[in-house]
A = this chain, B = another copy of it.
């Protein structure tokens, strides 16, 4: 698992060449006691998708989280899945393997939580028996003094179940080599075996164990019942899972068309589109129309260049300030050449620690990630949104959905004049891109090798794409 930004903040000791002193470095949120979240539920109740989404969210907000998937441990012992017989209560050899897998996953959860800086482990599995839950509680809470939270996924809605089953047959490793019809029969038996062993942790309002327990109904669409909630992490988890999220999801993204500032190599500002940027806006509208996306919504920033890019698209539009480009404060509207000449120290500090570096009177990537939280939260619970925003912002947004390591987020490649499509595929997102055939400058400046404050201007500008000066003459093209 990737380290979270907060963990990074903790471990950060400054670059080799430059000592960066940033706020929050020593002020990161106290690591409250580590938390084990255990799922409970029959197959096909959306536990694993929930675990993956929760993990993505927690890592993004700085709670270093890892999923321990019990079925993956089982597959280490039984590399080739044969049939549902594996899950019969009276199949003693199989039961032993399942118990062993459960214990290994639990022990690895404990190991993970004991590591400094680690915050949450998600034990993803059915955990249908009381004795298993007691074992979880005894180890994590009793022995280690950490926290435990249970999330029970209950679902009897036939259409949700049908979709979940389809997804299992499509994405599960177990059914990769089985004919569809056989797989469905097998899954039905498997579920029946688990049903026979199922003991719900909540009876009325009586809690089985003294720890937060949430019963999530119909994938969240039927509401939830929560007991014994306490702790900051647990509250955040409750809040996150309380809003149902689609199991089928497609999201579209694009940067604004090339702007006049892009052409002259300036950062920030609120410049209009260049002539080529206006061509992209037309091409984008045409392309989007051809896709016939049902209930399409368009979200843009509040800046001219994203609004102009979206203008021709036939769909409801919202302009959100959270989607505005990273604010470069005193450095707004400068070129990299000017930065290198007038703010050489700032540029070196930024190259050294691009994720955490905050422009004087401006923002850092971490600041942008923070202000994006509420938008991502809304975005995750919808489908068919086209977000038209900016390079740094889309790096953060794509970084979120693609589980990018925080340190890599400021270097995610998001070229101009390109439509990006994310499709939920099992538990993760798949990315496709469509490059529109309209020329534009390249704005992607790779991390220079030399990040020293004493480097020359030439060294600082070594990775700057060769376009800025050379293409400035192209602004008059159609």
Contacts and interface: CB of A to CB of B under 8 A. Distances in A.
Interface of A: 21-24, 26-30, 32, 205, 217, 222-230, 232, 235-236, 238-240, 242-243, 320-322, 324, 327, 329-330, 358-363, 367, 371, 374-375, 377-378, 381
Nearest to A322: B30
A327 B22 CA distance: 10
Contacts of A359: 23
Which of A324, A358, A363, A371 has most chain B Cβ within 10 Å?
Answer: A371
A378 B230 CA distance: 9
Nearest to A213: B223
A224 B226 contact: yes
A217 B205 contact: yes
Contacts of A205: 217, 222-223
Given A23-B358, A222-B205, A229 B242 contact: yes
**Most chain B Cβ neighbours within 10 Å, of A225, A359, A375:** A225
A378 B30 CA distance: 12
Main secondary structure of the interface of A (DSSP, over half): loop
Contacts of A377: 232, 235
A204 to B, nearest CB: 10
A21 B362 CA distance: 9
A209 to B, nearest CB: 14
Contacts of A228: 223
20 contacts: A21-B361, A22-B361, A23-B329, A23-B358, A26-B321, A27-B321, A27-B327, A29-B321, A30-B374, A30-B375, A205-B217, A205-B223, A223-B225, A224-B226, A225-B226, A226-B242, A229-B243, A230-B381, A232-B377, A238-B242
Contacts of A242: 226, 229, 235, 238
A476 B139 CA distance: 54
Given A226-B224, A243-B235, A23 B374 contact: no
Contacts of A26: 321, 324, 327
A29 B367 CA distance: 12
Given A223-B227, A230-B381, A235-B242, A27 B324 contact: yes
Nearest to A362: B23
A191 to B, nearest CB: 23
A336 to B, nearest CB: 21
Given A28-B321, A232-B374, A235-B239, A23 B367 contact: yes
User: Which 5 A-B pairs have CB atoms at the shortest separation, nearest pair first?
Assistant: A223-B227, A239-B239, A229-B242, A235-B239, A232-B374
A60 to B, nearest CB: 15
Contacts of A371: 24, 27, 29
A23 B363 contact: yes
A243 B222 contact: no
Nearest to A360: B360
